[in-house]
Structure 1
């Protein structure tokens, strides 16, 4: 099956994409293009999937770079292939021939580009990372490489939508303790439950950072099982594990 790659005009002509699960070699609960190194899928099958991604980006598989994601606000600058994966949640580079990647299964994959400066970035932004500043850290790291804030374009890829993201009052309180205005990203649910708008909150933080443009592809990972992996959907189904989607951008 052919790979399905979602792209954005604001990031083109740079090679990039939010890859769906279609076109992969994995089977079972991982069926499709599982690129999760940390999953319990067969290592050799994950490697095949990642090679397909590298081929689609016309990148050497060794230059398909990622980090050990830990829901932090830490962004790293890379200049070449890495011998290990640093604990962080974003990467930036100005080095041609490299592809930056993040893995997600409901969290926001965010790709960044300053076409003029030829600087790119990729961030894994769950609720904790977004709240703590991972998007701003990525932008700051790009600016350190010569990007201009007003020239940076950011695109949020497939993420869990508000309709599927039910949370409790403790979660709500964490956000309100940071800023009472964050209440606007919550909608009422059953009883004391609420629904959190993760992509909406991500767009807010990106726009507040003063970049050139910010958008969301408007794909929900939870409600489209044929195209996307979802941690929350797998949890609700009591599945033993779940696949990871890959998002990538290359210079």
Structure 2
């Protein structure tokens, strides 16, 4: 039996840079207020995002992302953005958790049977320092089971193009095994998504999907590495009302 959109127990959405009102270099669907874009344009884009997913804007919860490994449980959108955190977890319905990225890995996690979802900003430092494992742990505390969790990763810097110094790559590899790689140029690189997949499997999370596209080379996405001053795309996850 096919499942209609209305009956899906959890929703996960990723945006691209298209479809907004921001001017260059933020053109056009920039959703971040902290990158120098006109605030009115960002608010208009956020309102458009909310409308497109069928939720009031005040039900979208953003983060003050700092590349930390801090995980925060939220029960409402009273404090928005949530300060100094790089992962949000909730068991509340119609509360959309938003992660903003421009090369870092945006991760959306859910256990719809337990009614728990999470949005994670898994950049190099956060992933190295265990942000994903800490988020899974927090979800389990709320009733989730690792073998029932689905993980979805959006477009991010790929191992083919994410060049880093050798000592940096080895440092991340020591903490997040499976992430060190060689780029297409033959230089030392990092594939954060590969390291996260290995970590998730070790935690018992086996339902894993990833958008393979690389933000550094795919101009459908904002990329800090490619552009410097640029916008941010979003990953959004929420539990719809029953």
> Could you tell me the TM-score, scaled by structure 2's length?
0.90
1:207-246 matched pairs, under 5 angstroms:
207-225=201-219, 227-235=220-228, 241-246=229-234
Match in the other structure for 1:203: 197
Q: Kindly tell me: are residues 70 and 23 of structure 1, through their superposed partners in 2, closer, same or farther at Cα, counting changes over 3 Å?
A: same
Q: Kindly tell me: are residues 177 and 145 of structure 1, through their superposed partners in 2, closer, same or farther at Cα, counting changes over 3 Å?
A: closer
Is 1:248 aligned to residue 236 of structure 2? yes
Distance 2:179 2:111 in 1: 30
> Could you tell me the TM-score, scaled by structure 1's length?
0.87
Distance 1:111 1:195 in 2: 24
Match in the other structure for 1:45: 41
Q: Kindly tell me: are residues 176 and 248 of structure 1, through their superposed partners in 2, closer, same or farther at Cα, counting changes over 3 Å?
A: closer
Match in the other structure for 2:125: 128
Match in the other structure for 2:61: 65
1:97-246 matched pairs, under 5 angstroms:
97-178=94-175, 182=177, 185-187=180-182, 193-225=187-219, 227-235=220-228, 241-246=229-234
Structure 1 contact 30–242 (Cα < 8 Å) conserved: yes
Structure 1 residue corresponding to 2:14, chosen from 10, 15, 18: 18
Which segments of 5 or more consecutive residues in structure 1 lack a partner in the other structure?
1-8, 236-240
Q: Kindly tell me: are residues 164 and 27 of structure 1, through their superposed partners in 2, closer, same or farther at Cα, counting changes over 3 Å?
A: same
SS in 2 for 1:28: coil
Structure 2 residue corresponding to 1:91, chosen from 88, 92, 111: 88
Structure 1 contact 162–198 (Cα < 8 Å) conserved: yes
Structure 1 contact 175–183 (Cα < 8 Å) conserved: no
Which segments of 5 or more consecutive residues in structure 2 lack a partner in the other structure?
none
Distance 2:71 2:232 in 1: 20
| Matched length | 232
